[in-house]
Chain A
Amino acid sequence: MMKPDTCLRAERVEMFQQYLSGAMPHQEQEEWEAHYFECADCLDTLESHRAILVAVKQLGPATNAKFVWTGRAKFVWTGVAAAAMLALGVSLARHTPQIARPVTSAPVELPVAAAFAPGADAMSTTDARARAVAEFARFEPPAYRGGTSRAVSTDTMRQFRWAMSAYQSGDFAAAARGLHPLAGAGPGAAEARFFLGISELQLGHTDQGIAELRAVARLGDTSYLEEANYFLSKALLSKQDVQEAERTLDDLVRIGGDREHDAQALLQKVRDLRAR
């Protein structure tokens, strides 16, 4: 039933779908847009329809592949659909760069132990090792807890804050775009480059991410030196460059400090894996 204080247009489902699909006639589109520029109800409803469209497309195959129409009244699971879902899951686990996953994605459990069990053949062992290394490479983007760049101009700080707001909201593309102009020399460069590097890694731009983190490390004794080296080792692992990752972790352990134990633990995991 229509809510008494709601704009009448906000009840017209077909209109929103027609608009979002780009099928609305030109004149009608302009009238409708002029309307929602003034009407909060219609804007709210429009944005909800847009979110539904995105969600349906994102959930689509994963959600609906579970169901097969068997008549006029019900959907049931089938073995074929279940097998297809399983195959898709395995395929994604093998080919998706783990560090490029969005912050909110659910972790994928990799059957590392099972793959190294007695009886596993040589090919599956190599494959499982690569997957285990990829698993070690995964990380949650480090939280940004306020600026350390004090000696920068107001405009630069404003741009940095904007970029870091995007970073905090998980929009790594916007964060990278905002941080890139700030990653030159000068105060605050280490901080900007560090988060630029992390953002690039989150976007799946591994080489750019590695370049930025290396640049932070080259800046020397900044407050981001250890963090940069730690996430650099993760990025190297994601490229299966285990030797270089081990060297970076070794350096980090030698430096000591906040990341020493994390580095030591990761190094141990990598060496255990190599020893199997």
Chain B
Amino acid sequence: MTTLSADEQQVLAERIRLGDRDAERDFVALFATRIRAAVWQRIRDRETARDISQDVLMSAISALRQDRLEHTERLAAFVYGIARNLANNYLRTKARSPQWVELEPGMLVADPRIEVDALERQRLAAQALQDLEPAERQILHMTLSEGLEPADIARTLGLTSEVVRTRKSRALKRLVERIQAMSRSVGPGPPSQ
């Protein structure tokens, strides 16, 4: 299991505090996707989520540079807290308008690899979907795209709810395993600049 350890979090925070720009890049590589996921979950708007994610990264790095984090072993929780707060603030005020976030010298926070990775994963997902049984694809479509409950799908397809649930769950597990296997064989994307 690949969980970020307290030691790893502490070391990363300390490197950033000491002005190590490589550490800032590592920080972005580690947290950008996580931040985007959590912010997107609340905002549901790609462009706004992107802007807020930039702000989260900059706020976190700025705080670390200024040694404002006391418990550095809880770095991930600290970053998550900023992401949650900025996203919630946005939802509360709705006052934010789309804007270009200024980049600080020597720092590139918007890593295009995030977008590339997401697109590549979608391509692999589409490929893996083609290998499913038609019935399983139909069940996934009705569940994920049309938002139907297992009972509704069961009625339409002449199955029991339990069978629908099992087939859906089994298909999703197989797809995830397939995507992850293909992703490992493809390897990581190109290095950022």
Which chain A residues have a beta carbon within 8 Å of chain B's beta carbons?
5-7, 11, 13-14, 16-17, 19-22, 29-30, 33-34, 36-41, 43-60, 63-64, 66-67, 69, 71-72, 75, 104, 154-155, 158-159, 161-162, 165-166, 168-171, 173-174, 177, 181
Contacts and interface: CB of A to CB of B under 8 A. Distances in A.
Nearest to B34: A37
Contact of B112 (A11, A30, A169): A169
Interface string B36-78: 0110010010010010000000000000000000000000110
21 contacts: A13-B173, A30-B84, A33-B41, A34-B76, A34-B77, A36-B34, A37-B34, A37-B77, A40-B4, A44-B180, A46-B37, A47-B37, A48-B179, A49-B172, A52-B128, A57-B145, A59-B129, A60-B141, A104-B123, A165-B112, A177-B100
B31 interface: yes
Contacts of B121: 47-48, 50-51
Contact of A33 (B3, B38, B159): B38
Given A38-B4, A49-B176, A104-B123, 16 more contacts: A33-B37, A41-B1, A47-B121, A51-B179, A54-B122, A56-B129, A63-B129, A63-B141, A154-B105, A158-B103, A158-B108, A168-B112, A169-B119, A171-B112, A174-B115, A177-B100
A64 B176 contact: no
A29 B38 CA distance: 10
B3 A22 contact: no
B119 A170 contact: yes
Nearest to A175: B112
A143 to B, nearest CB: 15
B18 interface: no
A51 B118 contact: yes
Classify the interface of chain B: helix, strand, loop or mixed. Answer: helix
A165 B192 CA distance: 9
Contacts of A67: 134, 137-138
Nearest to A167: B112
B91 interface: no
Contact of A165 (B41, B147, B179, B193): B193
B90 interface: no
Contact of B3 (A40, A63, A154): A40
A71 B158 contact: yes
